[in-house]
Chains A and B, each alone.
Chain A
Amino acid sequence: MDISIIIESLPTLLNATLMTIFLAVVSILIALLLGFFTALARISKIKLLDAIASLYVSIFRGTPLLVQIFVIYYGLPQVNIELDPIPSGILALSLNAGAYLSESFRASILSVDKGQMEASVSLGMTYWQALRRIILPQSLRIAIPTMSNSFIVLIKDTSLISVITVTELLQMSSLLIAKTFEPLTIYLLAAALYWIIITVFSVMLDRLEKRTSQHIAL
C-alpha cells in the first residue's frame, strides 16, 4: 500500500462522499413524506386508497432495488420519460425506502394504545384532529429507531446508483482505480468513508431518539 496514493485520492473521494450524503439526505426526506402518506392511505377507510398504497408497497418491497434503478433510468426513456442519472437515482432510492418506511409508520400508528383515540374523540375531536394532534406525534417518536435504520440502509444503497454513472463514492473509487491500479487501497478507503458517515449519522440519530422518546410509554 502506498501512502501517497491515499493522500492523492482522498480529496476526490471526499468530494464524492459529499455526493453520497446529498443523495442519501434528499432521498430520505422524500421517502419520509412518501412513507408517511402511504401509511395514512393504508390505515384509511377508503378502500381504493388502501389498495393503491398496498400495491405500491408490494411492488417496491418485492423487487430488487437494482432492477428498480434500471427500469427508471434505462426503461422509462422508451416511453419518453427521460431522467438524468441523479434524479433517476433519487427517485429509485426514495420510492424504495418510502415503501419500507410506510410499513414501519403504519405499525407505529397502530401501536399507539387505542385509549388515546378514545380519549381524544371523547373531548369532541374529529378522527383527523385526534390523528394529527395525539396519535401521529406519538407514533412518529415510536418510529424513530426504524427511521434511523432505514436511513442507514439508504446510505449504503446509494452505492447502487454508481451503475447509472452517478459519481458518488463507489463510482468515483472505480474511476480512481482505473487510473491508479490500486483496488485494495481505494476500495478500503471508500469502505472507511462509508463507515465514518454511517457512524456519525447513527450517533446523531441515537441522540435524537433519546431526546424525543422521554415521555412516551412503550
Chain B
Amino acid sequence: MSIIQLTNLKKKFGTNEVLQGIDLTVNKSEVVVLMGPSGSGKSTLLRCLTFLEEPTEGVIQIGQQEVAAGEKTSRKRKNEIKELRKRTGFVFQQFNLFPHKTAIENVMEGPIVVQGVEREEARKLAKSLLEKVGLGERCDHYPSQLSGGQQQRVAIARALSMKPMVMLYDEPTSALDPELVREVLQVMKDLAQEGMTMVVVTHEMNFAKEVADRVIFMDGGVIVEEGTSEEIFNCPKEERTKRFLMRVKEE
C-alpha cells in the first residue's frame, strides 16, 4: 500500500528548475533515504511534499489526500493542504522548537490546537512520547536548556504527536555536534523498526546502510538512480553517483 505518491513534481525558482518532474512512490513502513549534493533538490522535494514550498507542477498524494500543484488558493485547497500536513510529521534541520514553551508544551501544542484534545490527555500523550525519545526527565525544560540532540528528539516527539502516517526528516543531524548525532539517529532507527514510514534527507551513510529499504540519489533536480543501500553504495551504476559517493567517503 502506498503512503506517498508523487506524479511529475516540478518546482521552479524563477527560471531555475530545481525539481524537473519527480515521480516517486513510498510504501507503508518503507524507509527511503534521499541523498545528493547540495542544490540537488532533495530538501526542496521534501518541502514540496507538504507545501512548505508550493510546487510549480505535479500531483502529491499522501494517504487518501491528493493535492495538485499550482492551483489557486481557496478555502477548500487550504483545508486539503492542512490534511496533508496532519498526515505527515516534519522534522527540520534547525529543530524549530517553540522557544517560549517547555519540551512537553511543544509536544502538546499540535494535539490541543489542531485536534482539540483535552489538556490533560494531551499531556499524557506528550509525556509518553518524550519518554519514547528518552527525554521523560526533561519535560519541563525549555529548548534553550536542552542540547541540540535533545532538542531534535523533542522535535521528533512533537512531529509524532499528530500520529502521522509518514515522517519526513530534512537533514535532521546536520546542525548537530558530531557526538550528538548518534542519539538522534537511534531514535529514528527505533521508529523505523516499529514500522513507521519515513523519508529521510541525510548524508549519514551508516544510517542509510542500516535502516534504509531504498536509497535514492538525486542530482540536478532529477532522480539519478535508486536501489537498496547495498546496490547504491557498493555498485552504483551512474557516474554522478560514483563521484558523489567518493566525495562523501573522503569527508
Residues of A within 8 A of B (CB): 113, 115-116, 118-126, 129, 133-134, 137-138, 141, 214-217
Contacts and interface: CB of A to CB of B under 8 A. Distances in A.
A138 B97 CA distance: 12
A118 B96 contact: yes
Contacts of A217: 99, 143-144
Interface of B: 50, 52, 78, 82, 85-86, 88-90, 92, 94, 96-100, 109-110, 113-115, 142-144, 155, 158-159, 161-162
Given A119-B98, A215-B99, A216-B99, 6 more contacts: A115-B94, A115-B96, A118-B96, A122-B50, A123-B113, A133-B109
Give the top 3 A-B pairs by smallest Cβ distance, nearest first.
A123-B110, A119-B96, A115-B96
B99 A123 contact: no
Given A122-B50, A123-B158, A138 B96 contact: no
Contact of B85 (A123, A133, A134): A123
Contacts of B98: 116, 119-120, 134
Contact of B162 (A123, A133, A215): A123
Given A118-B92, A123-B114, A133-B113, A215 B143 contact: yes
Contacts of B142: 214-215
Given A115-B94, A133-B109, A215-B142, A122 B88 contact: yes
B33 to A, nearest CB: 20
Given A123-B109, A129-B113, A215-B143, A115 B92 contact: yes
B99 A124 contact: no
A125 B114 contact: yes
Nearest to A127: B78
B162 A113 contact: no
A137 B100 CA distance: 8
A92 to B, nearest CB: 35
B110 A124 contact: yes
A42 B143 CA distance: 31
A215 B90 contact: no
A215 B140 CA distance: 12
Contacts of B90: 118-119, 122
23 contacts: A115-B94, A116-B96, A118-B90, A119-B92, A120-B98, A121-B85, A122-B85, A122-B90, A123-B86, A123-B109, A123-B158, A123-B162, A124-B85, A124-B114, A124-B115, A126-B78, A133-B109, A134-B109, A137-B100, A215-B99, A215-B142, A215-B143, A216-B99
